[in-house]
Amino acid sequence: MIAFLVFIVCVAIQAFYAGYIGTGRGSRIRQTPGQEQTRAFVTVLICAHNEAENLRKNLPAILEQVYTDFHGQRHFNVLVVDDGSDDCTAAVLAEIAGRYEHLDIVRIADKQKAGKKAALKEGVRRSVGKWLLLTDADCVPATHQWLALMVQPLAAGKEIVAGYGGYFKTRGLLNAFIRWETLHTWLQFSSYIIMGRPYMAVGRNMACDSELLSWAMNEPLWEALPSGDDDLFVQIAGNRVNCAVVSDSRAFTYSPAKENWKEWVAQKQRHLSTGKYYRLGTKVALGLYGVSHAGMWVAFLFCLFTFAAPAVIVLMASRCLYVWLKWYLGARRVKEAGLVFLFPLFDIGWMMYNFAFLPYITWKNKTSWK
């Protein structure tokens, strides 16, 4: 009887959350007269440590973005902070700089700190103009419109803009789960931003006001971790009115997913370490979502061996159809509709994911970047 009641409560909570976690559609940005003429200079900022091959492959697509002022002149630069690389990153950057005059390079001779925050801080200090667009060396924009689309909300008065950072599709269950987990995370945090409760963004694809980021870097919370700069920035500076989401697929970025479980686990330990520094209300909301999800599946399995089995099967089927439909609509928007056949497996897998990473979600920190 207790398991059945737990199941009912958890299903109700899951249905409530599914009603608020949308389909990945960004909020519509309203511009006042004159704002459509605002086009500030943009610095695309990349921090790189031993990223020679990624920079060789991806940097030209960023340098060739279409973003001009109202006289048709290029209106952005790309700043790469070479964070103490000891491979051939410097040579690759020098070769590319010979072909693109708007590539600027800052070299940090020795990497003395874990994480990329020192490099990011130096990059912000050296940036030009009011707007920043942040990405990583292993990321490539989906189209040449990426830059222009990502900064549109800044022209409308927003200060932090979250974009989708996807992963390339390859064969294997790990790759599929990484892409699904990225979709699931996107549906959560983009919906919270639209509701006026921002708690994270991804540094692979984020635009912001440079002065706001510079201010946030001097706040005590910024030094809580060597990584997590994107989430900590939103925690420090994000509020219910200054954040926006860009869901246009032309503004996505893509990067290679980890190819083995060990590397992926290390990456997730680092990413999830930031969650404990979220605002209390956000931690409660996200925690309730995760706990109710786990409680629902555990109680469901237990109830299958009781008198309540027929009822819980019907309720679980109804819940799954509703939630998976929401996931499917979101997956279509980020061009991941092919994942739909794996939703049952990943739904259960996410419960095990939360149990496995619980120490990093609640108290442990992952202290290394590269």
- Predicted confidence (pLDDT) per residue in 348-368, tens digit: 999 998 888 878 777 666 555
Residues 151 and 161: their CA atoms lie apart, in Å, by 7
Does one domain contain both 87 and 169? Answer: yes
Residues 98 and 96: their CA atoms lie apart, in Å, by 5
Does one domain contain both 331 and 351? Answer: yes
DSSP strand pairing (160-162 vs 140-141)? unpaired
Residues 246 and 266: their CA atoms lie apart, in Å, by 29
Number of structural domains (the chain) is 2
Does one domain contain both 253 and 297? Answer: no
**Structure confidence by residue, pLDDT tens digits, 181-230:** 999 999 999 999 999 999 999 999 999 999 999 999 999 999 888 888 99
Report the pLDDT value the prediction gives residue 197, as an integer from 0 to 100: 95
Task: Report the CATH number that the domain containing residue 72 is assigned in CATH.
Answer: 3.90.550.10
DSSP 36: G
Does one domain contain both 164 and 286? Answer: no
Does one domain contain both 138 and 257? Answer: yes
Does one domain contain both 72 and 188? Answer: yes
Range(s) of the domain holding residue 10:
2-22+280-362
**Domain contains 320:** yes
* The domain boundary residue, chosen from 242, 269, 296: 269
CA-based nearest residue to 105, from 115, 113, 117, 97: 97
Per-residue confidence band for 132, with pLDDT thresholds at 50, 70 and 90 = very high
**Residue 37 three-state SS:** helix
CA-CA-CA-CA torsion for 271, 277, 278, 279, nearest 10 degrees? 180
Report the pLDDT value the prediction gives residue 248, as an integer from 0 to 100: 96
Exposure string over 310-343, b if 16+ CB within 10 A, otherwise e: eebeebbeebeeebbebbbebbebbebeebeeeb
Does one domain contain both 287 and 228? Answer: no
* The domain boundary residue, chosen from 229, 248, 269: 269
**Domain contains 275:** no
> Lowest-confidence range among 208-217, 238-247, 266-275, 311-320?
266-275
